[in-house]
Amino acid sequence: MESWGLPVSDTWRLCRNLDEVFAFIEHWDKQRFHLPMGIDGIVIKVNSLLHQEELGFTAKIPRWAISYKYQSESATTVLESISYQVGRTGAVTPVANLRPVQLAGTKVKRASLHNADEIARLDIRVGDWVFVEKGGEIIPKITGVDTAKRGLFSEETKFLHDCPVCGTALVRTEGEAAWYCPNEQACPPQVKGRMEHFIQRKALNIDGLGAETIDLLVEKGLVANAGELYSIQYEELIALDRFADKSVRNLLAGIEKSKSVPFPKVLFGIGIRVVGATVAEKLAEHFGSLENIAKASFEELIQAPEIGEKIARSVLAYFAAEENQAFLEKLEKAGLQLAMTGGPATESEALAGLSFVISGVFSQFSREELQDKIKANGGKLVSSVSAKVNYLLAGENMGPAKLEKASKLGVKILSEQEFLDMLVPTI
């Protein structure tokens, strides 16, 4: 990157062994305070691209990079009060309001207490002296309580019983740390939060609509959920103080445009608990349509790649709720993309039931094109070699360990041409 003229930090070093890595860590533990910005640690990466390829990725992280975190700076201050925030999913998060204290260059006033378990674990009480830490993270963390400084009349913290916004009694699901407000349909932060989730860039990406506008539309009673955005009229919007002709037209155009957003993003946008953007994509690809996901059984759901029991249960619960069905009907009526169009799963069924791992570099097609071909012909892509995998599609420059593992496990190894031959129909 340096040779391309990009500005590159001159603090990186190539270390030849672990001793050199540790020496580097130790050096920066002291020197980091002289840097022009705060850092919370360093990243150690395997330098060889070949070895990186060989090591690959887990579902979440590369196996060839790891971060080393330095001990954070800490301070002590007083917990003045605890307030509670209600999120999009109804989860209630306790927040510590602290007597302002200077820490790692900023004034800290608030810290997340995460959930009721964390409050119990810390046995934190209003009036307590607490230890606060802040590494490179933006949100400071309370790491402990100085119980020696606790007053005689301090009272144990009792978590809320009722939603701080709508007053509904909170509920907690077995095995989950968070308390939830179950009033999903009418609790304002949940209604607004779900709509903000729906319109965000990674989801329906509706231009001209932001958090403030949503607040306004919900407060004026124009919409109660994202499905109602699609029936909103010009006259209703222009009647609001904040809107001029141009902004109304922009908003309506943004809503119209969202009707062509592809299905995986719509599925993410509808906001099923624990279904993030990646999971939504997997579900969309595997099942092909909202209808198929809605009628899938628990067993069918967990057979989809990377879908675990927790996600499966959440999906089932979502589609079982009547309110959600009514909401989805609105989206369908509005003409949103509720199924995969073209692309994958349409060329043939030649690879149905077969799973593939791709590795190396290919001559006729790029790796992405081959991945699309596998999906388009009914095959399944898997990230690492195991006994359950049918084929390893091997290109040039593939790591020897992967090849060895594949042959040891009896996974068939295919060249690019052999793979392409599989797609030609045999008559």
User: Where on the chain is the footprint of Zn ion (CB under 5 A)?
Assistant: 163, 165-166, 168, 181, 183, 187
CA distances from 216 to 223, 240, 242, 344, 427 (A): 10, 9, 9, 40, 63
Q: What's the DSSP call for residue 3?
A: G
Minimum distance between the CB of residue 94 and Zn ion, rounded to whole angstroms? 15
CB nearer Zn ion, residue 92 or residue 422: 92
CB nearer Zn ion, residue 157 or residue 190: 190
Minimum distance between the CB of residue 1 and Zn ion, rounded to whole angstroms? 49
Is residue 308 within 8 Å of residue 61, measured between CB atoms? no
Minimum distance between the CB of residue 160 and Zn ion, rounded to whole angstroms? 10
Minimum distance between the CB of residue 168 and Zn ion, rounded to whole angstroms? 5
Per DSSP bridges, beta strands 129-134 and 141-145 are antiparallel
Share of the chain residues as helix, strand and coil, in percent rounded to the nearest 5: 40, 20, 40
Is residue 370 within 8 Å of residue 419, measured between CB atoms? yes
Spatial CB neighbours of 63, under 8 Å, sequence gap ≥ 6: 55, 56, 57
Spatial CB neighbours of 394, under 8 Å, sequence gap ≥ 6: 359, 360, 403, 406, 413, 414, 415
Minimum distance between the CB of residue 362 and Zn ion, rounded to whole angstroms? 54
- The distance of Cα 134 from the centroid of its chain, to the nearest Å, equals 23
CB nearer Zn ion, residue 193 or residue 344: 193
Minimum distance between the CB of residue 209 and Zn ion, rounded to whole angstroms? 23
Q: Measuring CA to CA, which residue among 149, 85, 147 is closest to residue 111?
A: 85
CB nearer Zn ion, residue 46 or residue 165: 165
Nearest-5° Cα angle at 410, 407 to 411: 80
SS3 43: strand
The DSSP-derived string for 165-233 is TT-PBPEE-TT-S-EE---TTT-HHHHHHHHHHHHSTTTT--TT--HHHHHHHHHTTS-SSGGGGGG--
CB nearer Zn ion, residue 20 or residue 176: 176
Distance CA 425, CA 31 (A): 65
Minimum distance between the CB of residue 221 and Zn ion, rounded to whole angstroms? 18
CB nearer Zn ion, residue 165 or residue 261: 165
Distance CA 223, CA 258 (A): 17
CB nearer Zn ion, residue 163 or residue 376: 163
Is residue 29 within 8 Å of residue 40, measured between CB atoms? no
Residue the block writes with tokens 């094109």: 369
Minimum distance between the CB of residue 193 and Zn ion, rounded to whole angstroms? 11
CB nearer Zn ion, residue 163 or residue 251: 163
Minimum distance between the CB of residue 186 and Zn ion, rounded to whole angstroms? 8
CB nearer Zn ion, residue 181 or residue 398: 181
